[in-house]
Structure 1
Amino acid sequence: MTIHRREHGLIPSRSAWLIALLLLLPPTVEAQSAPATSGSTAPMAMPAMPGMDHGEMPGMDHPAAPIAPTATDMPALEPPPTPGMPKAPMQGGRPPADARSGDYSDGIAASPMHAMPAHGRASSGLLRIDQLEAFHGDEGNGQRWEIRGWYGGDSDKLWLRSEGVRSGGELEDGELELLWGHATSSYWSRQLGVRHDFGNGPARSWVAVGAQGLAPYWFELEATAYAGAGGRTAARLRVDYELLLTQRLVLQPELEVNLYGRRDPQRRLGEGVSDIQFGLRLRYEIRREFAPYLGVNWTRRVGATADYARHDQRAVREWQWLAGVRFWF
């Protein structure tokens, strides 16, 4: 009977503790499981638990962690000065005395030498002796010259042209032309001037009009018409080409055709096509301004001019071997 009374006395005491524990748990669980408010980034507040004040516990007094500074609170970062290197001043202000011009951004200094002005008013000149040669042919030996020169600007030039042949110790044929040339395009110019013939027979003077320039495929072309006293007329077509075999070795073929409108017995010239000449010269440019050459020249007299040659017992066709120099300055 005593044992039963003890058991009945313990049951009410345990039930009371269990009921008290259940009454304390619901508020804590609800506080932990409550969701955070939408859009809120603040941490969830935890209710203070009795008996959990760490500040009052011995050995648990920790200082509060410092708050990390934001980007706006940080001072400007400046690199430490490099030893031996002076601090560069800020841009602006007056440049130093030895600073280069702002027009030369790549550091290219202005040259004290002035180049030739690149406009049509600048004048310059050139004299070129294309052919100064000795020849050996079917009718003997002789010499020949051919000169080209000009002075002026890009648009207008004064031209000098001369050529001739000396054979048997006498001047056989020669001519001199003085022309004004005006550029009509990048590669062509028209010419107007005078021509004077001298040598065997009476001298003749002509008014000249023509054109010269660079044809397609780099052929140099001269076409000139002439009118003289007594209704005399003439024309000349000349074509030459320079073929660079190397940087210094140049092969130059040349073709020339002469025509006359009427006969000139005193100068042994017939009407129509008078003569055709073809030359081939191989030169070596020791310098651009000086080049010796070897070559061959072929001449064919045509029509009445050939008849005059036969009457004078001269060759109608003739081959000539050449040696000469070409230079300019």
Structure 2
Amino acid sequence: MKRLIALLLIGTAGPAFAQDHSQHQMPADDPHAGHAMPAPTDDPHAGHTMPAPTDPHAGHVMPQADPHAGHGATPSGPSISKGPPPAAAAGGPTYAADAVFGADTMAAARAALYKETGGMTVSKTIVDRLEAGFGQGEETYLWDVQGWIGRDIDKFWWKTEGEGAFGGPLESAEVQALWSHAIGPFFDLQAGVRYDIRPEPDRAHAVIGIQGLAPYKFEVDAAAFISTKGDVTARIEAEYDQRLTQKLILQPRIEVELSAQDIPEYGIGAGLSAIEAGARLGYEFVPQFRPYVGVEWHRKIGDTADFARAAGEDVDAVRGLVGVRFWF
């Protein structure tokens, strides 16, 4: 009986035990277990067979290099004829456009072109020095003005200058009327007359000289004078505008006077008679207007100095200057 009960218990417990174990999943065996796996890589094409790069010029016909390139070979082409031009080249009308637009129309057009590109009449007046001088107890004034009217080659040129003491008589004054003819890009030949108003006696002179721009931009005015009395004198002036800035300009200036003989009535001796040298520092507000200050030294030389001493005059002097330069 006990054996029968034990067998029954064993029979009922078996299915339950099998059911309990069927609910637990057992890990499956890894098929790669024990295999060496390659390290992961970022290249998306790893393991792919890439095609070989193609030639960008594949299928193009490449030009062959010229072995004589750069050797200065003369290009082939039609030969250039030598000799004078054919007669037909000079056989046409003087102004071919006359046949198209009419002779009257083209004559007016050529006249306007000539006028606008150099044939016009121009004029200018330059007040080169208008100044007051101070020194040795004397106040003086001076003017130096010139101008012209004309065309590129020929002009009428006029000049006037003079000086004196404030409160005193006019010491010297002159006027020149000149024909000016261009003898080069930078120089004019000038000829005409000069008339001295002071000192007395009044006297007229024939004038011949040159004026222009020397190398390095030195402005030069040189002239010889022959008076109605046969006296021969000369004057040379030179000045230079040195730009310290675009507006500040230093102008050194020198003037030399010479005479071929003594002229006692004018107090002038033969030879080198006088020299003036100075410098003016100006500020150019606009190109047409430049006030300045400066200093200048005057010296009478040789027989001219002897005439001055005999008249009780100083033979040299230094003056401070205040003035203005303008043109229009």
**Which interval holds the TM-score relative to the shorter structure?**
0.5 to 0.7
- Pick from 154, 174, 186: which aligns with 1:156? 154
Q: Show CA shifts across 1:171-191 (max 9, x none).
A: 011111111110011111111
Structure 1 segment 48-59 matched on structure 2, within 5 A: none
Find runs of 4+ consecutive structure 1 residues off by over 3 angstroms: 114-120
Partners of 2:190 and 2:198 in 1: CA distance = 25
Task: Answer yes or no: is the 8 Å Cα contact 1:129–1:148 preserved in 2.
Answer: yes
Residue 280 of structure 1: CA displacement? Answer: 0.6
Partners of 1:215 and 1:323 in 2: CA distance = 27
Q: Which residue identity does 1:280 align to in structure 2?
A: A
Partners of 2:131 and 2:224 in 1: CA distance = 27
Match of residue 300 from structure 1: 299
Q: Which residue identity does 1:164 align to in structure 2?
A: G
Match of residue 189 from structure 2: 190
Match of residue 121 from structure 2: 123
- Pick from 132, 135, 151: which aligns with 2:133? 135
Partners of 2:230 and 2:321 in 1: CA distance = 37
Residue 121 of structure 1: CA displacement? Answer: 2.3
Match of residue 256 from structure 2: 257
Match of residue 88 from structure 1: none
Partners of 1:213 and 1:240 in 2: CA distance = 11
Residue 200 of structure 1: CA displacement? Answer: 2.8
Aligned pair 1:271/2:270, yes or no?
Answer: yes
Task: Answer yes or no: is the 8 Å Cα contact 1:120–1:155 preserved in 2.
Answer: no
* DSSP 3-state at the match of 1:197: strand
Task: Answer yes or no: is the 8 Å Cα contact 1:251–1:282 preserved in 2.
Answer: yes
* Unaligned segments of structure 2, at least 5 residues: 1-111
Q: Show CA shifts across 1:36-61 (max 9, x none).
A: xxxxxxxxxxxxxxxxxxxxxxxxxx
Partners of 1:127 and 1:192 in 2: CA distance = 19
Residue 118 of structure 1: CA displacement? Answer: 4.7
Partners of 2:159 and 2:278 in 1: CA distance = 18
Change in 2 beyond 3 A, CA 1:119/1:207: farther
Partners of 2:191 and 2:117 in 1: CA distance = 23
Q: Which residue identity does 1:132 align to in structure 2?
A: L
Aligned pair 1:224/2:223, yes or no?
Answer: yes
Match of residue 312 from structure 1: 311
* DSSP 3-state at the match of 2:306: helix
Match of residue 90 from structure 2: none
Change in 2 beyond 3 A, CA 1:210/1:251: same
* DSSP 3-state at the match of 1:230: coil
Residue 120 of structure 1: CA displacement? Answer: 4.1
Instruction: State TM-score, norm by structure 2.
Output: 0.63
Match of residue 49 from structure 2: none
Q: Which residue identity does 2:318 align to in structure 1?
A: W
Partners of 1:259 and 1:170 in 2: CA distance = 25
* DSSP 3-state at the match of 2:287: coil
Residue 116 of structure 1: CA displacement? Answer: 9.8
* Unaligned segments of structure 1, at least 5 residues: 1-113
Match of residue 245 from structure 2: 246
* DSSP 3-state at the match of 1:231: coil
Q: Which residue identity does 1:315 align to in structure 2?
A: D
Partners of 1:201 and 1:191 in 2: CA distance = 26
Aligned pair count? 216
Task: Answer yes or no: is the 8 Å Cα contact 1:119–1:154 preserved in 2.
Answer: no
Change in 2 beyond 3 A, CA 1:115/1:280: farther
Partners of 1:262 and 1:220 in 2: CA distance = 28
Instruction: State TM-score, norm by structure 1.
Output: 0.63
Partners of 1:139 and 1:149 in 2: CA distance = 34
Change in 2 beyond 3 A, CA 1:288/1:324: same
Partners of 1:235 and 1:118 in 2: CA distance = 39
Structural RMSD (CA): 1.7
